[in-house]
Amino acid sequence: MDIIKTIEWKDNKVIMLDQRRLPHEELYNTYEDYLGVAKAIKNMVIRGAPAIGVAAAMGTALGAMGIGVENFDEFFQKLSAICDRLGETRPTAVNLFWALARMKACAQLNKELPIPEIAEKLKEEALKIYTEDLESNHMIGRNGEKLLQDGMTVLTHCNAGALATAGFGTALGVIYSATNAGKRIHVIADETRPRLQGAMLTAWELQKHGIEVTVISDTMMGSLMKQREIDACIVGADRIAANGDVANKIGTYQVAVLANRHGVPFYVAAPLSTIDLDIKSGNDIPIEERDPKEVTHIGPIHITPDYVKIQNPAFDVTPAELITAIITEKGVVEGPYENSISKLFN
């Protein structure tokens, strides 16, 4: 089932599928230093919260291999600078900061070892983060597929599939698990302007897995819900606050509002690494503002008048009250989320 390899550690290099070239070209880029990995995250060669976390961990491991000092304090200072550089790339997906914190903690835990051995431990930790994410996705899939019935049409927004994770996916992982269990699921992928992850990535990935998929523009979902052509919505997450508010790709909020209006269940699928207990509510989640060109242009074509004002927030926050359930590797939780989420960490 894991037929898409988004990211891989091979011969002390990091290999990434260049998602900017999909769906028309499968190009793999090789990175030999952490700066290359940082640029790849920033420029969206790799994207999706869990995949960004894995890339940051592998970038840190690459960086650690190149630190030529013998004393731990000096090593840790340089490692922290590498983590800071990787952390500057994308502000919303908490998996990035979660992975960097884990890498720093791993270095501290092994501080008594010679530096080359600490670098080796960091490589092992990055691979562990990768493997754990893959396992979590399969568990999310198993937990979530019970919510889907044979014959359902499910709408998803953005891409929360194998491409956005170490593999398999969160929201799409639930769909893959349902189809593996013999259920026929028709997926509606909205295109997800401005970067079109739904049209370009989700449709490609689902087709590759042999799952029936229909692409719609973002403007069509309300009408389809009104006509009862959508049975459920399922999306991923970039950061979940302690109260259950969910930051995800811009446009997720309107999916949730429309689903609520039409009585369609709205599910969020995400690993615990996406839950940020330090953030009380969605109001405190930093939202990335991206290049206006993503709005003014479709591909190379300039579609807006010159000098018009542009806003381009990459994420929005869906309030917890609009979320039917959050599907995690530890189980499916419903509101009130303060209680149910905190229990997941016990």
Tell me the catalytic residues.
238
Quote the least distance from Cβ 181 to ligand MRU, whole Å. 21
Residue 239 binds ligand MRU, judged by CB under 6 A = no
Nearer to ligand MRU, 94 or 230 (CB): 94
Residue 237 binds ligand MRU, judged by CB under 6 A = yes
Residue 202 binds ligand MRU, judged by CB under 6 A = no
Name which position in 45, 50, 194, 267 contacts ligand MRU (CB under 6 A).
50
Whether the ω angle into residue 336 lies within 30 degrees of 0, i.e. cis, is: yes
Quote the least distance from Cβ 250 to ligand MRU, whole Å. 8
Residue 165 binds ligand MRU, judged by CB under 6 A = yes
Quote the least distance from Cβ 165 to ligand MRU, whole Å. 5
DSSP 199: I
Bridge-based pairing of strands 13-17 and 28-31 is antiparallel
Quote the least distance from Cβ 335 to ligand MRU, whole Å. 20
CA 114 → CA 69, 71, 119, distances in Å?
Answer: 10, 9, 9
55 and 7 Cβ atoms separated by less than 8 Å? yes
Residue 236 binds ligand MRU, judged by CB under 6 A = yes
Nearer to ligand MRU, 49 or 341 (CB): 49
Residue 110 binds ligand MRU, judged by CB under 6 A = no
DSSP 135: H
Question: Angle 314-189-56 (CA atoms, 0-180°, nearest 5)?
Answer: 45
Structure tokens of 228? 């009862």
269 and 144 Cβ atoms separated by less than 8 Å? yes
Whether the ω angle into residue 50 lies within 30 degrees of 0, i.e. cis, is: no
Quote the least distance from Cβ 314 to ligand MRU, whole Å. 5
Residue 48 binds ligand MRU, judged by CB under 6 A = yes
Amino acid identity at 37? V
d(CA 77, CA 117): 17
Residue 255 binds ligand MRU, judged by CB under 6 A = no
Structure tokens of 332? 């499916």
98 and 129 Cβ atoms separated by less than 8 Å? no
323 and 333 Cβ atoms separated by less than 8 Å? no
Name which position in 6, 143, 170, 318 contacts ligand MRU (CB under 6 A).
170
Q: What is the per-residue binding string for ligand MRU in 119-158, x denoting contact by CB under 6 A?
A: ---------------------------------------x
DSSP 129: H
Q: 3-class SS at 317?
A: strand
Quote the least distance from Cβ 67 to ligand MRU, whole Å. 29
Nearer to ligand MRU, 62 or 246 (CB): 246
Name which position in 16, 47, 242, 327 contacts ligand MRU (CB under 6 A).
47
Residues that bind ligand MRU (CB under 6 A): 47-50, 93, 158, 160, 164-165, 170, 197, 236-238, 248-249, 314
